[in-house]
Structure 1
Amino acid sequence: MPEMMPSFHNPPLILVADDDKTMRLGVRQAMEQDGYQVIEAHDGNTCLSVFERVRPDVVLLDAIMPAIDGFTCCRRIQEMSGIRRTPVLMITGLEDQDSVDKAFSVGAVDYITKPIHWAVLRQRVKRLIQQVRLYQQLETANHELQRLAAIDSLTQVANRRRFDEYLQQEWQRMLREQLPLSLILCDIDCFKLYNDTYGHQAGDDCLRQVAQVIQNAAKRAIDLPARYGGEEFAVILPNTDQEGAILVAQDIQTGVKNLQISHTASKVCDTVTVSLGVSNTIPSVITSPELLINAADKALYQAKAEGRDRYCTCLS
């Protein structure tokens, strides 16, 4: 999933960088009058250090400062900002066209000249804050939409689309690093009979509980549990050998049995159980993720054929 945006300070945090102490004091008072938090820097080096530490919401930056001037400082700030471009407003006595062009070329979003018209500065900062808030709201909404598009709404684990994307991604990564990749396919035993006996609402609740067991068994952040389809789940286990994958499969099998969900119509026992197929490989340029899936599917079929409520393995 995409990286989340940095949070917005509340109240908004303004970094004021100017080598003139009187100017910094004037800007601070104007900003605090509007309820903003203010932090100061007296030169370019300090500005960059403070920016990296506190990540302010807006930077008010003097163009002419010792050591590192405002133009260089602005460019560095935008490089450090990453996915969230920090609004920089240049405050300077320079009014020539070249200076104005240079300010915008290094990433400034606005420009105000000295002597400062305080009402104008306050309005421009207010507008920048509104833009930052709107941008963050849009990013938050976009991330939520992406999250929802990757999640199975019933079980809250990854959906099939996310499974396919992640398997391709991790296959390529394990191929580059020549590390093992494991896959577990997991099927709830006699689930159609469960639905027929207890109803679809109980079936949905069963799916949710089993999904939670699988989520708990996939302990690492890089492990991806997913609903593969119907009553079938999958777990992608990057950088995991067969022995490690078997341990996860055993955790899932035990965890589901410990749920003690009654299933009187089961052909296995009187509670809900699962069958699991485990496959493992080190990706190569002459193999594909489909081979890993096929091997796990073959192992799952074998587990069912041998009586269910067990795991079987197959190397791809």
Structure 2
Amino acid sequence: MTEMRFDGRVAVITGAGRGLGRAYALLLAARGARVVVNDLGGAIRGDGPDADVAQGVADEIVAAGGEAIANTDSVATPEGGKAIIQAALDTWGRIDVLIHNAGNVRYGSIRDISYEDFRAVVDVHLLGAFHVVQAAFPHMCDANYGRIVLTSSIGGIYGNARCVNYGVAKSGMIGLNAVAALEGEACNVRSNVIVPSAVTRMAEGLDITQYPPMQPELVAPVVAWLAHEDCTVTGEMIASIAGRVSRVFIAETKGVYRPEWTIEEVAQAAEAFHDKRDVLDFGLHGHVGHIGYSFAMARGQDQPDGSD
């Protein structure tokens, strides 16, 4: 099997000072990528920046014979997002890979969370993703090449109690990814979501004694594959947990059609339109598939199978 390398490629990785981001940075650098190691170096809540965190990873890459620079700009502002991408352009004149991994954690329920804690997490995870994607996207499109990997979570897909800010941010990543994949399709810019689970400092306070091995290094090859030029998928969500890799996707039931509805008829049909025995997976152009399938049903036409 030919080794999948990143020689000549420039990768920007946010939140690359610790945990998953560090594992991504070290792996891509080992395979030839030149890496911008972005990290504020803050505590898990995002407080108390420390420039030595990003610099330490950059130094580790250089000591191993690779190329890397440290960057401590914040993804949470448009100016910070631009500065992170500009660091790659100023140093190496290009941006080929963007992996948005930066994150923070501030627990809170819908009822009790402060607005400050809600925004602090949304600003870093979701708005941070938009800030760096928007800054990198024109350069990738103009170069007719780019690979974007955004980070969601099982908490964003399935929800998790007392993590409303995190759930909202990680769910929003799905929409950003879909639009980036659609708008980048004609320019060879591919965008996908990693849904990672690993034991990092974000697992602080959890009982992990019964967990199987879940080190960040188990997730890193999956992210590296999504970031590689040979990866053909786009607009998808790939989960990686404890050595298991899977595709996560949004699907629809086949549904039920009537030319008119009453409330009572909707109630009566609920079991039928909840039936998951036949599932439609519309894929990248799901907005077109959803509308086309629904219109065809309304016209009484034969239905496509809904597969992508």
TM-score in same-fold range (> 0.5): no
| TM score, norm. by length of structure 2 | 0.33
Larger radius of gyration: 1
| TM score, norm. by length of structure 1 | 0.32
